[in-house]
Amino acid sequence: QVQLEESGGGSVQAGGSLRLSCAASGYTYNDYCMGWFRQGAGTEREGVAQIDSKGTTRYADSVKGRFTISQDNAKNTLYLQMNGLKSEDTGMYYCAARNVDCYIDSWRYPQYFGYWGQGTQVIVST
């Protein structure tokens, strides 16, 4: 049973930073794709970034240069370092996983991912 648990959300001023973590358990696949998604109030869930088993990363244009996705395989943990936060980054952030490798744009499609965490809230105030 794959379980994902996010942490690290909170409230910050615009321009600040947060580091989200996603602890994964029960995940034993050699090839995989993991991603971060977010959902604001009244909006659809949107992709933020993805990383595959080889460490290849992709980002949404809206976060390029500000967010960094990474993983620590020894700790089975996925991270999202968020710098230069803007009010439009506010939302619930979810980590997700699929047990096959990423497509180049898997991050665009939440429906590609079969495993999801419960989310962690990020609030950016101006």
Q: In this predicted structure, what is the pLDDT of residue 8?
A: 98
User: Which residue bears the tokens 């996983």?
Assistant: 97
DSSP lists the bridge partners of residue 80 as 20, 69
Buried/exposed 55-64: b ≥16 CB within 10 Å, e otherwise: eebbbbeebe
Percentage of the chain modeled with pLDDT above 70: 100
Q: How confident is the model over 4-25, as a mean pLDDT?
A: 97
Strands 10-13 and 120-125: parallel
By CB atoms closer than 10 A (0-12, 13-18, 19+), residue 30 is exposed
What is the gyration radius of the CA atoms in the chain, in angstroms?
13
pLDDT tier at 96 (50, 70, 90 boundaries)?
Answer: very high
Could you tell me if 2 and 96 are in contact, meaning their C-beta atoms sit under 8 angstroms apart?
no
Ramachandran assignment for 24, one of left (phi > 0), alpha (psi -120 to 50 degrees), beta (any other): beta
pLDDT tier at 46 (50, 70, 90 boundaries)?
Answer: very high
Amino acid at 121: Q
Q: How many residues does the chain have?
A: 126
Q: How confident is the model over 48-75, as a mean pLDDT?
A: 96
